[in-house]
Amino acid sequence: MAEPSFAIDADARAQFLKLTLVGDWDAAITARFAAEVMATLRGMMSGGMAHGQLRTLLDMRRKGVVPQVVANEFARILHKDSPSRRVAILASGALHRLQVKRLMDDRCALFDTEEEARAWLFAD
């Protein structure tokens, strides 16, 4: 498995946030990720993005199954109080997809390709 890492790509004008997660995570990288996501969201909100209008693409295709502490943090990010209107999730492997499904709510959908995910996110 690849070294644990993440990338955050934000486009405030399009109200779009792409989060790419790689590798097997522990509590330390999860905390770093959460802090950077929150800082990015604060910047987007101060730049004029309305709460509840964000389209989020969460790419976890190269990420391993997560321990419970990490799953709890992801659940916070996907919580109904988050600024996301829709969350498209990319995951691979049956176990990983099952784990992701437990965190999803009615604003979330699971996809196989980024093209399908983006089409769903921007279909209004």
The torsion angles phi and psi of 22, rounded to 5 degrees, stand at -135, 145
Residue 80 has pLDDT above 80, yes or no: no
Split into its structural domains, the chain has a count of 1
Please indicate, yes or no, whether the overall pTM of this predicted structure exceeds 0.75: yes
Residue 76 is predicted with a pLDDT of 67
pLDDT band for position 93 (cuts 50, 70, 90): confident
Please report where in the chains the tokens 């976890």 appear, as a residue. 60
Q: Residue with structure tokens 């709890």?
A: 72
We report the CATH number of the domain holding residue 73 as 3.30.750.24
Is residue 8 within 8 Å of residue 36, measured between CB atoms? yes
Is pLDDT at 124 greater than 80 in this prediction?
A: no
**Cα(19)–Cα(35) distance, integer angstroms:** 13
From CA 60, how far away is CA 39, in angstroms rounded?
A: 21
Give the range of the structural domain holding residue 106, as residue numbers without chain letter: 5-121
User: 79 vs 13, which has greater pLDDT?
Assistant: 13
Q: What is the mean pLDDT of residues 19-27?
A: 89
